[in-house]
Chain A
Amino acid sequence: MGQSELLQIEKDVLAALTERFGEKILGHDKFADQLSIFVAADTIFDLARFMKEDERTQFDLLSDICGVDWINCPKQRFELVYNFYNIPKKLRILVKTTIADSDAPSIQSVQPVYSGADWLEREVYDMLGIEFDGHPDLRRIITPEGLEGWPHRKDFPLTYEAPQFSHNKDNPPEIIK
């Protein structure tokens, strides 16, 4: 997809972020009316606080957090997309970061900054198994307790095997064909 021109307000935000975080800001990309900024994963908490509190940014709404599983690139397997919105300036910016594949992928929670991130992070944890350090109540939210595996990962078995719960772990159901 093609690149579009940055607006002045977007340039200001990008400049403020680059000034504060330097090389932690890995790049940016604009498609249609949408600016995405790529950042290093270890800076996400400070960045969220900066996005909310600095007078040059002031993104008052954390609209969404979305996790994507790029199973073919293990070094950047999990992509998290933080969707910040500034209501007075009518500006939406997607902040993207990646986490490498490991047994327990983790990132800092932004829940202390934006309370709305509580359920959003719980859903990402539930679906992708990414742990959010500092989250006050990290439990599964949508799938039932005792489900093993992370449904939105690309290697989660689809219709070929029945999902295994802890209660039938020793006595798994027959494979559905």
Chain B
Amino acid sequence: MAMLTLIPQFAIGFADLVAAFLFMYGLQRMSSPATAPSGILVAGIGMAAAILASFLYLCDVSAEARPHLPVNVGLALVALVVGGGLAWWSGKKVAMTAMPQMVALYNGMGGGAAGAIAAVELYGDKAQGNTQLVVTLLGGLIGAVSLSGSVIAWAKLDGVFNKPLRVSGQQIVNALALLATLGVGGAIVFAATGKVSPIALPDLITLFFGLALIFGILMTLPIGGADMPVVISIYNAFTGLAVGLEGFVLQNPALMIAGMVVGAAGLLLTLLMAKAMNRSVMNVLFTNFGDAPKHKQGVLQGTLKPVEAGDAGIFMRYAKEVIIVPGYGLAAAQGQQKLYEFVKLLKAAGVVVKFAIHPVAGRMPGQMDVLLAEAGVPYDLIFQLEDINDEFANADVALVIGANDVVNPAARTDKSSTIFGMPILNADKAKKVYVVKRGEGKGYAGIVNALFYDDNCFMVYGDAAAVMTQMIEAVRGLAARSAA
């Protein structure tokens, strides 16, 4: 009998230890695009080992649970196959442009799982002592908020509804919802420790999770689409934290370590994103973007100067260096493939071509890099803001496609602008700037871009994919003529 519990205990402990190590080693291998694919494979092996070993828990269940074991094992297998199968299928199918909402959804699932574990522990009255009880509640709260918040983030990113929903006094309502949740949590601790409670314990637990889910929804509804990179990062950190806390409750160090590592990762990305927008995390969460009082914009000098796509393409063909600034508008027009085709033509003609990526280009951190990689752009052509910003001054052309606010010089000079202080790409420092744009609209922040009126800036109007096709044809036509 002793061996019957000792061997599984050892096997689970060992498998979890290996898993925790492989997770960290795998993430460490993500420090370069060359080693990163092996990194996720290594982490995957760790995960498989931990999941397989977890079925050894059936050797060591409590006496009351033993009669239910056949049913429970069956349920676990069905849940693994159905949940895993559906997510695997969706993950294989999802378009790269839809990646932010998919990641938000998977993240919400993790938070929901942590919340559900907390619920099982609470309903079953399994917590040993007040510390465990409080930690269970805390993990459950954070997990539930992450679940409902991520679902709202998914719905917003997926376009189910994209208008931020705001009512007056919303912050007070949100604060009350959080206080109510914490209050019910406190009542659960009192009731569980044998104090007389007017509401039965199971009802309190249901109320607790209901309020936590509602708070997650209320907290996410007012946040606008442009702030989603920050929101996704925060919920990633939340889920990690919830998993870590439930790991403590279950006395499982693998969950504790994995959860905290992810929590730290999410926090780091959150701060990076907020910094790239020159806003604090608190500002993103609790104030509504675009609500700042409208200021009078300084009178812009100069005019908008439209040019033909073909002429711009040929000019770049004879340039020495071209830096491309892609924005989400490029992806929205599905123009990445055409753009890279054009880049290959330029490179074949001896032009040095580089891509400059702003940290908030896209709907989640690094999404523009993935979209370019999908189109086949080699990653050694892709540069981040701090690495390339000084190079614009030497470039003959800066080609801005589907980006707007991230190249607006007002962020540098205009103290009254809503984007003042935000780090921007110095596209205006290039000798010549071409801006590919659908029409004369404003950027996401609703500000007119001073760059477009500069003497060295020319506008190429049209759909990004169509414009790129015209540029390709112009450069090809040139080559055909010179060959004839």
Same complex origin of A and B: no
Name A residues whose Cβ lies closer than 8 Å to a Cβ of B. none
Name B residues whose Cβ lies closer than 8 Å to a Cβ of A. none
